[in-house]
Amino acid sequence: MKTPKRLASLVEEGLVDEVIAQMMSGKEATVYIVRCGSSIRCAKVYKEANQRSFRKSASYQEGRKVKNSRQARAMEKGSRYGRKMQEEVWQNAEVDALYRLAAAGVRVPQPHLCYEGVLLMDLVVDAEGNAAPRLNDVELSEALALEYHALLVNQVVRMLCAGVVHGDLSEYNILVGANGPVIIDLPQAIDASGNSGAAEMLERDVINLRSYFSTYAPALKDTQYGKEIWALYEGGFLQPEQVLTGKVELDERPADVESVLEQVELAIEENELRRMFQP
């Protein structure tokens, strides 16, 4: 096929030898199958910010690091340079997450490089060597649904142990490769310790898995893996091979409202005293 404009520079630099076909076009990028020497890989070409349909980027960017204070100020002001930096941070988040997660044994494509808005990584293939289908396009038996659900919940645990929350996990960004599910699409991945919405995002990821797999395996409908995982993480007990129950113990003790109000009043009084005696 004709080389797309955004891939031309990679071909010119010798990083890609041939663009074989367009594989898919999503809300944030278009993915192509390419040949690099004797290897068949995929090239994820990010769309410009004004072309993306993913509109929740602000909540995902909390806690992300930039190179220097000038870049941070520009991003806050929304200048042209700042928008360019935001795009780089957005794209680098996926690259960084892929390297970190691959090293932690999480089932993600192996990244190779990110060059001028194009991420080059391994192509996930099925048993016949064809591009792997999305989970949403695969029919499952109840037994296979339970197996895949357990595997993916373990991947969520491994990701969190590596300090990462996917943030947009669903049946649409999981591929079914020759050896089972592989997680893709991580530009919105967040640092679990640096984002105040991490617990909520992890819970949503796990609920998405539960909702999808419970259509094949109804026994999953009442599970609470997200809350269990986060409680273990907050307590410092979460391990990559964590044995989970899918249940959480709810604290049904009545709230001690009077005690809370007393603490609030004390805090107000202490603050007033500090103000009175400030030089």
| Residue showing tokens 């944030």 | 28
Residues forming beta bridges with residue 183, ordered by sequence position:
174
- Write down the pLDDT at residue 28: 82
pLDDT (tens place) for every residue of the chain, 279 residues total: 889 999 999 999 999 999 999 998 887 889 999 999 999 999 999 887 655 544 456 565 665 555 556 655 544 555 665 555 566 666 778 889 999 999 999 999 999 998 888 999 999 999 999 999 999 999 999 999 999 999 999 999 999 999 999 999 999 999 999 999 999 999 889 999 989 999 999 999 999 999 999 999 999 999 999 999 999 999 999 999 999 999 987 555 565 667 667 766 766 766 666 566 555
Burial of 263 (0-12, 13-18, 19+ CB in 10 A): exposed
How far apart, in whole angstroms, are the C-alpha atoms of residue 247 and residue 9?
51
How far apart, in whole angstroms, are the C-alpha atoms of residue 37 and residue 21?
16
| Structural contact between residues 62 and 194, judged by C-beta atoms closer than 8 angstroms | yes
Phi-psi region for residue 9, left (φ > 0), alpha (ψ -120 to 50) or beta?
alpha
pTM for this entry: 0.79
| Residue showing tokens 């999305």 | 134
Please give, one letter per residue, the 3-state secondary structure of the chain.
CCCCHHHHHHHHCCCCCEEEEEEEECCCEEEEEEEECCEEEEEEEECCHHHCCCCCHHHHHCCCCCCCHHHHHHHHHCCHHHHHHHHHHHHHHHHHHHHHHHHCCCCCCCEEEEECCEEEEECCECCCCCECCEHHHCCCCHHHHHHHHHHHHHHHHHHHHCCEECCCCCHHHEEEECCEEEECCCCCCEECCCCCCHHHHHHHHHHHHHHHHCCCCHHHCCCCHHHHHHHHHHCCCCCCCCCCCCCCCCCCCCCCHHHHHHHHHHHHHHHHHHHHCCC
> Could you give the domains of the chain?
13-234 (1.10.510.10)
